[in-house]
Chain A
Amino acid sequence: MDAVTVQRLGQYTVQLSRPPRITAAFTLMGPREGAGPLGPYFDAIVEDYMWGEVSAERAERKYMEQAARRALAAAGLTEGDVDCFIAGDLLNQIVSSTFSARSLGIPYVGVFAACATSALGLALAAMLVDGGFARRALVATASHYQSVERQYRYPVELNIQRKDTNQYTATGGAAAVVAPPEEGTGPRITRVTLGRVVDWGVTDANDMGSAMAPAACDTLLRHFQDTNTTPGDYDLILTGDLAKVGSKVFRALVDRAGVTLGGKHMDGGASMYGDAEWPAAGASGSVCSMAVLLGYVYKEMAQGRFRRVLALPTGCLHSPTTWQQGDSCPGISHAIVLETD
């Protein structure tokens, strides 16, 4: 029996042998996201939060399903051309993903990494395609302000004064097709560093950025060590959903570790709404990092502005129950490297 080729770098990183491409992507966002500075990068904006549905939960799954269908159409594929649908969202039992998978009819892998679902989905898709276990994979995430707000926090219309550390769940759906390198010219997913759950004891669920910053720093340092790279080797280091407060903490941690990010760092959550007074800290939600990756980064890579991007979406893995019982918020961050030819 042949020995299995180990496709790993260092202790934690996967080196894909024939790095698959993102051959098509579609970002379908809500009105507030469309009005933000990244609005022009999104493929479609839906002006109605509820999108004609009777509940926010139904609207959320519509965002996901429509993004998935339009990504397939953009790649010129049908459901039968894709062997695996990898999706995740923030709702209990990841129902938006499940219900989308129900109508798509593609074999389904449901994943949960909160707001880091984008990188986890893309990483798994790349490994499945590279390993020959799927010809192509479809990856999707979605989140909806109203459905997430009422599950994690308070009723949508309640008179709560949000703090400056609070993040606002982005509304939308985003999907990408991951296929072998022969197809198309999109950016290739070359390396993957899966995240460890890191928890430094932040118990304030209103400050998820600070809860997740250590996880992003952990994955970043492990990735640099395994791949023997420095920030200088990348055109952009994109964290997801640390937002403004978490980004500050993240940069301070990276700085203490003796790594200089320079002007390379950008955070998806901090960029989504620009300098609006509220939401002060920025965006979160499982669609946020996916939309920044597939809207802004994907398109700028096609234009040749970025050639090599390290994306580190972050997720806060607490539940309302664990938080109310006084547990701290565990964070996670999965890293993927995107490269153009």
Chain B
Amino acid sequence: MDRNRIDIDGAKDYQRLVQQLAPKPNVARLTARAFLVGGTICFLGQFVFDWFRFRQPTEGEAIAATLATMILLGVVLTAFGIYDDIGQLGGMGAAVPITGFANAMASAAMDFRREGFVLGMAAKMFIIAGPVIVFGILAGILTGLLAWLAKAGP
């Protein structure tokens, strides 16, 4: 189309028009939702941790049991098609806790199950969660290196 005819001067001008007309996200409402959803998940996690704290010999084992429980919860909610609705409601409030990580793994595994156990489910399970693992390991190595250098230093 002739941009001059409709008074649009290049991609930047069009971007401005689009931005003017695009709906503005209600940041206060989205933040409140993220806080409530994320807070609820973390409150639940704290409750589970307290329950294990009195039943496990050490705090470390209680933490491990809590993480396993929350991961299981995330996977079960994903399997029943509930966790994506929680994500729509809470945004990063649902994505950041470990239940969100479990959802990222489980949802990908479910989607690619039809393409087989090995090349489908097992391989594609990491399409969303993979970067978290890669950069998690990388951060661990770098931190370890820094700690070692600090110790070896003068």
B22 contacts partner chain A, Cβ-Cβ < 8 Å: yes
A198 and B87 form a contact (CB under 8 A): no
A159 contacts partner chain B, Cβ-Cβ < 8 Å: yes
Please give, as numbers and ranges, the residues of chain A lying within 8 Å of B17 by CB-CB distance. Answer: 249, 252-253
Contact mask for chain A residues 185-215; partner B; CB cutoff 8 A; 1 contact, 0 none:
0000000000000101110000100100010
Closest chain-B Cβ to A54's Cβ sits at a distance in Å of 7
Q: Chain A's interface: helix, strand, loop or mixed, by majority?
A: loop
Closest chain-A Cβ to B148's Cβ sits at a distance in Å of 37
Contact mask for chain A residues 137-179; partner B; CB cutoff 8 A; 1 contact, 0 none:
0000000000000100011111111111100000000000000
B88 and A157 form a contact (CB under 8 A): no
B88 and A164 form a contact (CB under 8 A): no
Which residues of chain B (72-104) have a CB below 8 Å from chain A?
78, 81, 83-84, 86-88, 90-92, 94-95, 100, 103-104
* Measured CA separation A107–B51 after assembly (Å): 67
A248 and B21 form a contact (CB under 8 A): yes
A116 contacts partner chain B, Cβ-Cβ < 8 Å: no
Question: For the side of the interface on B, what is the size category?
Answer: 35 or more
Which one of B14, B103, B104, B106 contacts A200 once the chains associate, using CB atoms below 8 Å?
B14
* Measured CA separation A55–B103 after assembly (Å): 20
A256 and B25 form a contact (CB under 8 A): no
A158 and B87 form a contact (CB under 8 A): yes
Beta-carbon nearest neighbor of A150 in chain B:
B111
Q: A54-B114, A253-B6, A278-B88 are in contact. Are A155 and B108 (CB under 8 A)?
A: yes
* Measured CA separation A280–B84 after assembly (Å): 16
* Measured CA separation A202–B11 after assembly (Å): 8
Please give, as numbers and ranges, the residues of chain B lying within 8 Å of A163 by CB-CB distance. Answer: 25
Please give, as numbers and ranges, the residues of chain A lying within 8 Å of B111 by CB-CB distance. Answer: 150, 155-157
Q: A158-B103, A248-B21, A280-B23 are in contact. Are A201 and B6 (CB under 8 A)?
A: no
A301 contacts partner chain B, Cβ-Cβ < 8 Å: no
* Measured CA separation A164–B107 after assembly (Å): 23
Beta-carbon nearest neighbor of A280 in chain B:
B23
Q: Would you give 17 A-B contacts (Cβ < 8 Å), ordered by A?
A: A157-B107, A157-B111, A158-B87, A158-B103, A158-B128, A159-B84, A161-B91, A163-B25, A164-B23, A200-B11, A202-B14, A202-B15, A207-B22, A218-B1, A248-B21, A249-B18, A249-B21
| A positions within 8 Å CB-CB of B | 54-55, 57, 150, 154-165, 198, 200-202, 207, 210, 214, 217-218, 221-222, 245, 248-249, 252-253, 256-257, 278, 280, 328
